[in-house]
Structure 1
């Protein structure tokens, strides 16, 4: 009943809701009235959706529902009529009937819901049954899950146990494999030892390398695991096996090398020629190289693994080199002796051929060694040094007996340039031993050169005794000038002039020309003239010898030794030239001697310019001057010899009497410049005295007279005219002195300039030397004029004296100079065009030194 009441209340609520909904569209007081636009929009939607069919269908459904309801009510009414109580007698009956009708109507309306309710109850019962079955299923699944988990746990346990067993099996297998691997290093000792003791087993067998690998691995394993049981004992066994293997390799290589040596040293092979013998010396060994190379390569691959291999390789090196020394020592010595007999007397050819032979031997031995071995060895260098020592022992006796500097210099050039610079620099590795021996030989040659150079400088330069032809100046120059003029007149070609020069110049002079033909001399020859004195053959012998000696020594000896010898050579040369100039001055005139010395000093300075060395030498000496002073003081303080204090005389002597070390720098270039300056000053002085000597003598006499007069005790009124009153200073005497000087200028200036042209043949040098002479001449006349003007000479006296002015003297000098140039221009042009000199004289920068 509760359900029915609930259903009725719900129906009442639904009717109320329906009534409320109907009130929405009431025209009057509608709860939610629609506007015309909204209704039109709704109609448009309805038309678009169904075109009005939906509305007609809806109306038909409602009409059917009303008809069904009317039919049901009619049925109920019929039932009411047919019933026995069909009469309605009272209101109560009507109400009852109405109530029943109303109830029936209500029940009729609730039938649908009741049917649905019954269906829901049926479905609910079915769901309850289904839930029950689900619970039973869940119980079954839970039981099944528990059983599955139990089975799974058992299976996992079994699987884990299986994995553990497999791991144990793997670990045991690894342990067993590790044990087998470790036992392998212990179990192979006996088998290896037996195979090595087998007499049929050879080093050339292919398995020998495998045995060496096994021995090396086992030894390395024993050294890496010294704590293993019996590791030391097995290490000794494997070392014994290694010793046997190395001895087998050593014996094998020794036998191969010995057989090759025996074949080479056979009598028939030694009787062959030298070239065939040397071909055999290398051919036999080269044929044996592949056999030995395989063994040595195996050894060299294992040098880092064991000391025994290093010792074995060193022993094989020694055996190989000993066999080669047995073959090559005698052959090399005999070959060098044959070269000595072949080039007897020609030391340069002997040195060149012997060194070239040793170069080939060293290269062949180096190449042969590396055909057997790949690793370098110090024994190879020692062996080749032994072979090269034969060369040294053979050549040194010849070298120490050579006296000629040219020969020694050429030998030095052969050793330094051809051997060390060319061969050794291009093959430093194969010629290392050869380079050491050649360097020792070069030092011996340089020492011999230094010794012979000192003797040569003393005997042929310092102590040179010139012949009459050496001092025939200026005759030699005039003769060469005439020869040049005759050649020019005959129209000789350049080649004939060159032949003429070659006939004059010696081999030594050509050497100097070759030395000085470099870039360093180009700037000195640019503006130089030509003179017969420029010919090398016309140089003074000591100058030529000095320059040739220096040119020889420059490329041969060390720079420090060359500096010392060059300083000594230039000093001796300057002394020799100065001595020759003195003899020429005694024989001819002081001007000839001085020009001779100036010319040769210029040549000397020019020729030493290309030597790119410092000619400065430091000399160390002891100064004993304080020793003498200290000794005198010691004698004066005899009483203080044993004094106790700072005044002890003996102590003062020891402190003050110590010799002092003094260092002095000697520069040969400056010595040449210094001597040149001194000679030029002497020449200028002598030339000036030749031209105006009477005037200079008068000026000196007058100055001395004036000094004596000025020192007189009682001055007199005529003291200002003391010079005028002197007889030697009379106007007539002074006039004669002036005239004599003018005559000297006119007669001697031309020959003086001619001599300068003949000796110097350089206008710049002549101008530099002549300018101070000209200035001195002008200055002497100016001094004379000033002397006359300051010593009370009257106008009449000056007229008698007729002293020319500086301008007049300058015009006189110029006129004489122009006349001399006109006379000398023709022969000078001939000399210049003939180009008889190998090069012009240097323009001397002595202007600042004048």
Structure 2
């Protein structure tokens, strides 16, 4: 829109005035901030620089409504002084303003429309591209589907190929497995042809491989009985195996016999017979030459041992062991028998046993080494060599057996047990190990025979030398024997301070202890217990019998001390034996049989009444009676009784007057307390004790003097005799202690009566009895 400057003279229109006033009023009521004003100024400058729209003329603006036109020359409203068309009302102004605003908006939005058009074109282009992309994607999806179809067909083809390859491999393996199984059956013809070949023998290098292949075929056919004709093939295979094993047996026999012949020829060439070969020739020829001659068997025998898990080879190996032992036994039996016979001619029984065992141990060790050379895996089992070792050991047993039966010396028999148990079994065989284990059965057999013989001889010795011993005068010469021993002991020099104490013992005691000391380490505990119980019992009875003879020969006290002495020695000497001396005896009792038979004959009982106690079975059944005898307890019992008897005899010897006096006084008091119908007796007993005839002060003084004399004369003699019989001071002290107690007790009782029945003057002046303290000191001095 173009405006012309208005003349200064033209009045302004009312609309303009109102508009101006409105703007002023608006400006006043709503003032702008500095920032807003700066923004308006900036917009004003920007609008001022913009060109007019194309549909407007720079010179004028024409309006259609009411012929109104506005012409402006300047850019500012304030400078616009002339307007072509006069705006006469508000409507015209608003219309004009609207057109102007539209023009301005159109000019302002032009670039945005251009930008929108550009964007629209580009969106259209994008839409076209999207359509092309969608088409391309559709083509790609179709191509992908086609590719998947091709891949699926290819995978299916590959899987089919893999399955065919697996099936092919399985068929190949099946064919190979079938062929491997058929190979075992096909081997029958090959093996049979080889074994029946005239050139085939055990020494052939192909023999053992063929035998191994034959074993494999047999094992396979045995483990697969479900195959057709497997039983037929198994029979044929076993026939071939039996033929091969027979060839092995024949070969082993041939080689062993050849080796034995070579050894025998070597012995003959050395100038000796098989029974009289020297020890050097025995070692060099019989063992070294035989080993060299039979060395060709070693590979074959080792191969058989390696197959010992099969029963056929166990049998052939056992057969080879037997054949080997037979050949070796035939080769060395004469030599062994000759050696043992030479020992028997020259040596006594103990030395014969020692030499024979030593020689057999040497032979056994050499034979075990040779056997280990041929059968290295079988040598650990000693039973394999038993057919050779046992007959060789029998030579020694047969040589010793007759000598053992006739041997009566206990020392020799005990020495034999010591040789066999300690030296041979305990040291040599245990130290050398399994190489000598084959000797154990024979040695234990010999040892059992020696035990049996020793037990028999021990019982005979106990019966003859102890139970039935007949003492001589010198054996019973007590106490003379003890006195002579004491004199010889006192006269000995320092070089001979230990005389033989056994000389003072009763011989059966010495024989008993000597026998038990020998048997203790030789016999089994159960056997020794029975013999010890019997020996102790018999010895105790023999000592008791001898003590009675000593009583007749010397005195009762000598007999008592003799018995105490020997029973103490016997008890002391059997204490180290760690055994029970208690033995239970069982015996059958038929004493009730006669009474039952009488009742049956009288008709009081039936013979066939099985429900009653009188039946035949019960009648004929014996009773088993058991009795337990403890020899040690019986010994203790006898010793205790003898000691008590000795104590009482010594007590009576010393204080018998006092004991009689106390007894009489006790009897008088008992009679007075119980009363009596005899007036004369009552009048006599009614007297005081000191007025009694047996109890006057003089009588009491007399018996006190007798006791005092016995204490000073008889009791020392008793003590000397005790020292003679009992050398141990502690034993004498133990035995004398109750004697002392009895003597002191008798004095105490008498003193008690004196104190109650007699005056002090009578006790001190007339009776004059020793005090208890002095008596005890006197008795202690005797020890």
TM-score after normalising by structure 1: 0.71
Note the residue ranges of structure 1 that are not aligned, 5 or more in a row: 1-22, 44-54, 506-534, 822-850
Q: Distance in 2 between matches of 1:208 and 1:30?
A: 135
Q: Distance in 2 between matches of 1:415 and 1:538?
A: 36
Residue matched to 2:88: none
Q: Distance in 2 between matches of 1:399 and 1:287?
A: 42
What's the CA shift string for 1:636-660, capped at 9, x where partnerless?
A: x946467999999x93999699764
Please state how far the C-alpha of 1:452 moved relative to its aligned partner.
1.2
What's the CA shift string for 1:701-759, capped at 9, x where partnerless?
A: 99999999999996132455379999999987776666555444433222221111122
Residue matched to 1:571: 537
Residue matched to 1:7: none
Matched, 1:605 2:571: yes
Please state how far the C-alpha of 1:149 moved relative to its aligned partner.
6.0
**Closer/same/farther in 2, CA of residues 241 and 63 from structure 1, 3 Å limit:** farther
Matched, 1:443 2:443: no
What's the CA shift string for 1:30-49, capped at 9, x where partnerless?
A: 79x87x9xx79xx9xxxxxx
Q: Residue 578 of structure 2: SS of its match in structure 1?
A: coil
Give the one of 333, 337, 342 matched to 1:333: 337
**Closer/same/farther in 2, CA of residues 195 and 575 from structure 1, 3 Å limit:** same
Question: Where does 1:382-461 land on structure 2 (aligned, <5 Å)?
Answer: 383-426=388-431, 429-461=434-466
Please state how far the C-alpha of 1:198 moved relative to its aligned partner.
3.9
What's the CA shift string for 1:302-331, capped at 9, x where partnerless?
A: 333x33222222222222222232234333
Matched, 1:674 2:637: yes
**Closer/same/farther in 2, CA of residues 355 and 110 from structure 1, 3 Å limit:** same
Cα RMSD, aligned residues only? 5.1
Q: Distance in 1 between matches of 2:287 and 2:729?
A: 70
Q: Residue 286 of structure 2: SS of its match in structure 1?
A: helix
Residue matched to 1:828: none
Residue matched to 1:225: 224
**Closer/same/farther in 2, CA of residues 720 and 464 from structure 1, 3 Å limit:** farther
Q: Residue 324 of structure 1: SS of its match in structure 2?
A: helix
Residue matched to 1:516: none
After superposing the two structures, state which structure 1 stretch, 141-150 or 387-396, moved more: 141-150
Q: Residue 69 of structure 1: SS of its match in structure 2?
A: coil
Q: Residue 406 of structure 2: SS of its match in structure 1?
A: coil
Residue matched to 1:211: 210
Q: Residue 539 of structure 2: SS of its match in structure 1?
A: helix
- Contact kept, 8 Å, 1:745 with 1:813, in 2: the verdict is no
Q: Distance in 1 between matches of 2:609 and 2:621?
A: 20
Residue matched to 1:69: 51
Q: Distance in 2 between matches of 1:471 and 1:298?
A: 80
Q: Distance in 1 between matches of 2:66 and 2:752?
A: 204
Matched, 1:301 2:306: yes
Residue matched to 1:473: 478
Q: Distance in 1 between matches of 2:481 and 2:667?
A: 44
Q: Residue 523 of structure 2: SS of its match in structure 1?
A: coil
Residue matched to 1:762: 728
Matched, 1:721 2:684: yes
Higher helix share: 1
**Closer/same/farther in 2, CA of residues 310 and 545 from structure 1, 3 Å limit:** same
Q: Distance in 2 between matches of 1:168 and 1:816?
A: 123
Q: Residue 611 of structure 1: SS of its match in structure 2?
A: coil
Question: Where does 1:426-825 land on structure 2 (aligned, <5 Å)?
Answer: 426=431, 429-487=434-492, 492-493=493-494, 496-498=495-497, 501=498, 504-505=499-500, 535-622=501-588, 634=599, 638=602, 640=604, 651=614, 660-692=623-655, 715-719=678-682, 721=684, 739-777=705-743, 805=769, 807-808=770-771, 811=774, 815=778, 818=781
- Contact kept, 8 Å, 1:618 with 1:664, in 2: the verdict is yes
Residue matched to 1:374: 377
- Contact kept, 8 Å, 2:259 with 2:294, in 1: the verdict is no
After superposing the two structures, state which structure 1 stretch, 708-717 or 451-460, moved more: 708-717
Q: Distance in 1 between matches of 2:528 and 2:504?
A: 26
Q: Distance in 1 between matches of 2:301 and 2:190?
A: 25
Q: How many residues were matched structurally?
A: 724
Q: Distance in 2 between matches of 1:302 and 1:366?
A: 22
Q: Residue 497 of structure 1: SS of its match in structure 2?
A: coil
Please state how far the C-alpha of 1:700 moved relative to its aligned partner.
8.1
Q: Residue 584 of structure 2: SS of its match in structure 1?
A: strand
Q: Residue 228 of structure 1: SS of its match in structure 2?
A: coil
Q: Distance in 2 between matches of 1:101 and 1:711?
A: 182
Matched, 1:324 2:290: no
Q: Residue 265 of structure 1: SS of its match in structure 2?
A: helix
**Closer/same/farther in 2, CA of residues 91 and 281 from structure 1, 3 Å limit:** same
Residue matched to 1:173: 172
Q: Distance in 1 between matches of 2:557 and 2:327?
A: 77
**Closer/same/farther in 2, CA of residues 289 and 65 from structure 1, 3 Å limit:** farther
Q: Distance in 2 between matches of 1:644 and 1:246?
A: 68
Q: Residue 400 of structure 1: SS of its match in structure 2?
A: helix
Greater RCO (Cα-Cα under 8 Å, separation 6 or more): 1
Q: Distance in 1 between matches of 2:101 and 2:747?
A: 186
Q: Distance in 2 between matches of 1:68 and 1:646?
A: 159
TM-score after normalising by structure 2: 0.77
What's the CA shift string for 1:574-613, capped at 9, x where partnerless?
A: 2322233333333332222222221111111111111110
**Closer/same/farther in 2, CA of residues 29 and 294 from structure 1, 3 Å limit:** farther
**Closer/same/farther in 2, CA of residues 619 and 798 from structure 1, 3 Å limit:** farther
After superposing the two structures, state which structure 1 stretch, 358-367 or 539-548, moved more: 358-367
Please state how far the C-alpha of 1:112 moved relative to its aligned partner.
4.1
- Contact kept, 8 Å, 2:551 with 2:557, in 1: the verdict is yes
Residue matched to 1:515: none
Note the residue ranges of structure 2 that are not aligned, 5 or more in a row: 1-22, 71-83, 86-91
Q: Distance in 2 between matches of 1:803 and 1:340?
A: 86
